[in-house]
Amino acid sequence: TPVIGVLALQGDVREHLIALASADALARPVRRPEELAEVDGLVIPGGESTTMSKLAALFGLLEPLRERVRDGMPVYGTCAGMILLADKILDPRSGQETVGGIDMIVRRNAFGRQNESFEAAVEVAGVEGGPVEGVFIRAPWVESVGAQARVVAEHGGHIVAVRQGNALATSFHPELTGDHRVHALFVEMVRAVG
């Protein structure tokens, strides 16, 4: 059974732990480099990307995260986590760094403010059985992807999910629904490496 961490500095950690457990992974929070070293894969949750990147730097996790992603550890980022996995942010806040790993440019808060949050059915390549219910909360979208990255979902003409090698990112939050098929896809990605 793969051991999958959830970066637990800020954001909706608990929901991901539950979703991973119901997709048959051993899920545990990751706050320290030693904990990162012990997982087979990692989820970077939704939350606030600037805060999360600053906390990652403060906890000495930014470089270890970059290293493990470079080494091919499977990683899945939702919303703020998607922003952390982008090689480039279109409109970064000052001092905002990313882990990177996906050759894409993201636009933060692209779908509007908190009160413009919405749900929509999204067809995700690699997820069988019909569209997933995407929850979009101050969600980013992807402006463009590089040659290595593959678009796996779009909504309203915008890219909302991307995969590059062992890295997966979605603008939306499958962990906030009872449908854990995207987490199951990620667990399979981790199994394929292990």
Residue 60 burial by Cβ neighbours in a 10 Å radius (0-12, 13-18, 19+) = exposed
Which residues, including other chains, have CB under 8 Å from residue 177's CB and lie 6 or more apart? Answer: 132, 133, 135
Q: What is the largest CA-CA distance in the chain?
A: 42
Q: Do residues 143 and 83 lie in contact, with contact meaning Cβ atoms separated by under 8 Å? A: no
Q: Is 109 in the site for ligand GLN (CB under 6 A)?
A: yes
Q: Do residues 172 and 159 lie in contact, with contact meaning Cβ atoms separated by under 8 Å? A: no
Q: Is 49 in the site for ligand GLN (CB under 6 A)?
A: yes
Residue with smaller CB distance to ligand GLN, 9 or 80 = 80
List 46, 74, 101, 134, residue binding ligand GLN (CB under 6 A): 46
Q: Do residues 56 and 100 lie in contact, with contact meaning Cβ atoms separated by under 8 Å? A: no
Task: Give the residue numbers marked as catalytic.
Answer: 79, 173, 175
Q: Using CB under 6 A, which residues numbered 5 to 44 contact ligand GLN? A: none
Q: Using CB under 6 A, which residues numbered 71 to 90 contact ligand GLN? A: 79-80, 83
Q: Do residues 123 and 156 lie in contact, with contact meaning Cβ atoms separated by under 8 Å? A: no
Residue with smaller CB distance to ligand GLN, 15 or 40 = 15
Residue with smaller CB distance to ligand GLN, 27 or 137 = 137
In 10 A of CB 120, how many CB atoms? 15
165 is in an annotated binding site: no
Residue 191 burial by Cβ neighbours in a 10 Å radius (0-12, 13-18, 19+) = middle
Residue pointed to by tokens 């760094």: 97
49 is in an annotated binding site: yes
List 16, 107, 108, 183, residue binding ligand GLN (CB under 6 A): 108
Q: Is 138 in the site for ligand GLN (CB under 6 A)?
A: yes
List 24, 35, 48, 133, residue binding ligand GLN (CB under 6 A): 48
Q: How many chain residues touch ligand GLN (CB under 6 A)? A: 11
Which residues are annotated as part of the binding site? 47-49, 108, 137-138
Which residues are annotated as part of the binding site for L-glutamine? 47-49, 108, 137-138
**Which stretches of the chain bind ligand GLN, using CB under 6 A?**
46-49, 79-80, 83, 108-109, 137-138
